[in-house]
Amino acid sequence: MKRVWADDNKYEKWLAVELAVCEAWCEEGVIPEDDMTRLRAAKYDSQRMEEIFQTTRHDVTAFISSITESMGPEGRWLHLGLTSNDMLDTGLDLQVGEAGELLLRELDQAIASLREQSLKHKDTLMMGRTHGVHAEPMTLGLKLALWWDELTRQRERLVAALETMRVGMVSGAVGTHATVPPSVEERVCRHLGLKVAGITNQIIQRDRHAHFVTTLALIGASLEKFATEIRSLQRTEIRELEEPFGQGQTGSSSMPHKRNPELAERICGLARLLRGNAQTAMENVALWGERDISHSSAERIILPDSCLALDYILSIFTRIVEGLGVFPERMYANIESSRGLVFSQRALLELVDKGLSREDAYKIVQTNAMRCWAEINLPDGCDFRDLLKSDSTVGAYLSASEMESLFDYTYYTRYVDATFQRLGLLPTPVGSPA
């Protein structure tokens, strides 16, 4: 990714655009074939470009001059009919395309790692939490499958954003084609593997760039969401998951026992940077008239930085998922720590099924649940299951065997396979409805 955004690669893209324009002019019969043969050997000189820039204070004129100084009369054909952004914006979109290929590769690796771990832990029972409080049991596989599904959507968004950016322009000073006909633009874009931006002024419109950068920020938001959950589940009081911790690694300069979720925290920090860059990208959409350059300085920072940051945190996330520490025994202990309260809805529904009104059933179950809740941290506190069994009102509706059947954790995991089949993570059984 550093290579994609390096100055040398940027200048190579500029030269590719300039030569593609010359080729198009040659095909139009404007540039003689002999001159075109010599133009194909054109090279820029970055050191000389810097020297010229000190006088011109214009990177494009310095770039063109660094090429033409070493050429003969054929040099006059370079930049024929163009404005700077014909070259700059088209070259930039070529860079974005290269960056996008790398981001998709990293995204695919992250998606694959989630797929593998979700299948591995499809049936690993853990507590589902809402508002940070025990709700009902689920599986770690479901949590990871949810992330897999989200990142898969994010991939679709990135593909769409990259397609929006896969355009070029060669339309002249304010986009009228007065100095360079549409036929030249079409030839150039075809040669470079780009689509033609249907209409431009002096730039390719920045809603495209905002779409791209906000998509990167949205992917970062998902990664932050996943990383935040891993951080939460790594807390000492919970300790159901743990990011990789290498042999000899240290977590603190003062406390040798520390194993901190620093990789996940790094993801969260850089996701904030991506969101800030997205704000800047949206502010770049509004420019004066047919263009100004208020967007240009910001883009030189936000485009490389956003691509580099997302590329980096995607690789970190994949590393975390592939090396994720999972502690099923701790997960089960945490489920049991709420002493059967997770079965409250099952008891409610069973009583309703036996003929009680929902309001009456809720009151009966909640009365027992709140008594258990009040004693939940006491060493000899009561268990919700025992309270229900000893409640004569409940006993009037449920037999001992019916009550015992309520307290079965497999009830909560009976449709896990169906969910995985719906997502395409498991094959759908033959004969099942599509």
The amino acid present at 17, given as its one-letter code, is V
Taken in order 317, 319, 322, 323, the sign of the CA dihedral is: negative
Annotation says 121 is catalytic? no
Among candidate residues 183, 252, 294, 405, the one labeled active-site is 252
Q: Cβ distance 295 to 287 under 8 Å? A: yes
What 3 state SS string does the chain have?
A: CCCCCCHHHHHHHHHHHHHHHHHHHHHCCCCCHHHHHHHCCCCCCHHHHHHHHHHHCCHHHHHHHHHHCCCCHHHHHCCCCCCHHHHHHHHHHHHHHHHHHHHHHHHHHHHHHHHHHHHHCCCCEEEEEECCEEEEEEEHHHHHHHHHHHHHHHHHHHHHHHHHHCEECCCCCCCCCCCCCHHHHHHHHHHHCCEECCCCCCCCCCHHHHHHHHHHHHHHHHHHHHHHHHHHHCCCCCCCEECCCCCCCCCCCCCCCCCCCHHHHHHHHHHHHHHHHHHHHHHCCCCCCCCCCHHHHHHHHHHHHHHHHHHHHHHHHHHHHHCCEECHHHHHHHHHCCCCHHHHHHHHHHHHHCCCCHHHHHHHHHHHHHHHHHCCCCCCCCCHHHHHHHCHHHHCCCCHHHHHHHCCHHHHHCCHHHHHHHHCCCCCCCCCCC
Annotation says 131 is catalytic? yes
Catalytic residue numbers, as ranges: 131, 252
